[in-house]
Structure 1
């Protein structure tokens, strides 16, 4: 066996990007700290700036293409939904349009914009975590701070299950298409084609969970002995710790400023 391949498992898995090399918990810390600003500054402009910061972080991580697609899909669905709900049904003094239960007020529009941009920030956090943090790195980091290995395995399995269901759905839809079943078209055609997929999809998920349980038992997953890992992370450098602390202090200062204002 190639000695280089063997040695690759003896050293921490690093990339050439500084942001991707940060500890997963530190990255989550930074993302959530930035997101907390939206709770204390009631200005939609602030939410837009934070969203742009997330986009810049995705660019810095070299993951802009992976980030922007899911971000736009989530943001263009969730953001307008919250805007419409708040803009149409929120009471206010400055009435713009009224018909039945529909009350469009200036206050509702302002609140709708605020909530829509907050949802953009939330979507940015979720997508940025997905594209810059590997699930196995996250669970390894959790184990290093004392989280039981069975809990970290449940987190990893849950994240992996989403990916597996997506892949299985694609395979089943391709099989349906090869049989001449129409799967493309308007919304009703897609729903009609998707409903028969649910049964084999969930049966396959249940079967896969059972097979995974048997495989883990065969590998002494429940053993009390310390676990070994094929993949591990570098020790957190002092400079990275200082960076996280400075970011937290800066965000805390901005939050205090927001409360005062």
Structure 2
């Protein structure tokens, strides 16, 4: 069951096994660091946000998750960048439009677009750095070992554990519908019409699976006690405890300074 296995007890969609320094750091330290970086990102200029994104990518490559980083960044940032370019660079007239033949582009709009893209890139890369080096089961054990409520711990870790089963289920539904003659390779109109045939079975199975999981957890008295005991809790070094405390203090201080200024 969730929380009882280790990194090799089941597949996850984003976790990349490894023995890097980031893999060995306590999951709670990485989670607090992620929150601090997310808060810091909104206080930095575009150049600073781009530096954060580049540093996260470098650390991800060193941790052995370079392929995951590249794939997720392309899938997420490319459509977003194109949409922002069209809206802010072409469609919105800011008074500084420069004619480039077929289209007129606003330099001010491109600058605004760049700020949004690098902010999203910074948040995305930092989040990827966390999920690719932290197995959800280990995260759940770390939360339990520090006295976090089982319900809250499960709420935090379960989405990462459920990504892979849902991905496999979605592919199975797609293959089954294609075998029944559903057109998923035609024009975009045909694909749009086929979308409900894929979504409805996935949602139905997800709701059924949710009820089964709830029944299993209740049968095991999941929340009978306020805290759970972990026999093989992840290693938590003293310097990590102090680092988490400092970062948790730094987050409201940073936000307060920005609001004050």
Question: Normalising to structure 2: TM-score of the pair?
Answer: 0.75
2:160 matched residue in structure 1: 159
- The 3-state SS of whatever aligns with 1:19 is helix
- The 1-side partners of 2:41 and 2:115 are apart by 9
1:5 matched residue in structure 2: none
Measure how far apart 1:25 and its partner are. Answer: 2.2
Q: CA RMSD in A?
A: 3.9
Measure how far apart 1:20 and its partner are. Answer: 0.6
Measure how far apart 1:109 and its partner are. Answer: 1.9
Measure how far apart 1:59 and its partner are. Answer: 1.3
1:59 matched residue in structure 2: 61
Query: Contact 1:32–1:125 (CA<8 Å) still a contact in 2?
Result: no
- The 2-side partners of 1:20 and 1:62 are apart by 10
Query: Contact 2:27–2:142 (CA<8 Å) still a contact in 1?
Result: yes
Equivalences for 1:6-17 in 2 at 5 Å? Answer: 16-17=19-20
Equivalences for 1:39-50 in 2 at 5 Å? Answer: 39-42=42-45, 44-50=46-52
Matched, 1:79 2:81: yes
1:237 matched residue in structure 2: 237
- The 2-side partners of 1:192 and 1:114 are apart by 36
- The 2-side partners of 1:185 and 1:48 are apart by 38
> Which runs of 5 or more structure 2 residues have no equivalent in the other structure?
1-7, 10-16
Measure how far apart 1:132 and its partner are. Answer: 1.6
- The 2-side partners of 1:126 and 1:187 are apart by 32
Question: Normalising to structure 1: TM-score of the pair?
Answer: 0.75
Matched, 1:25 2:47: no
- The 2-side partners of 1:58 and 1:248 are apart by 24
> Which runs of 5 or more structure 1 residues have no equivalent in the other structure?
1-7
Measure how far apart 1:243 and its partner are. Answer: 6.8
CA-to-aligned-CA distance 1:238-258 (integer Å, 9 cap, x gap): 454577789999999x99999
Query: Contact 1:135–1:156 (CA<8 Å) still a contact in 2?
Result: yes
2:121 matched residue in structure 1: 120
Measure how far apart 1:137 and its partner are. Answer: 2.3
Q: Which has the higher contact order (CA 8 A, sep 6+)?
A: 2
- The 2-side partners of 1:228 and 1:256 are apart by 37
- The 2-side partners of 1:74 and 1:112 are apart by 15
Matched, 1:68 2:70: yes
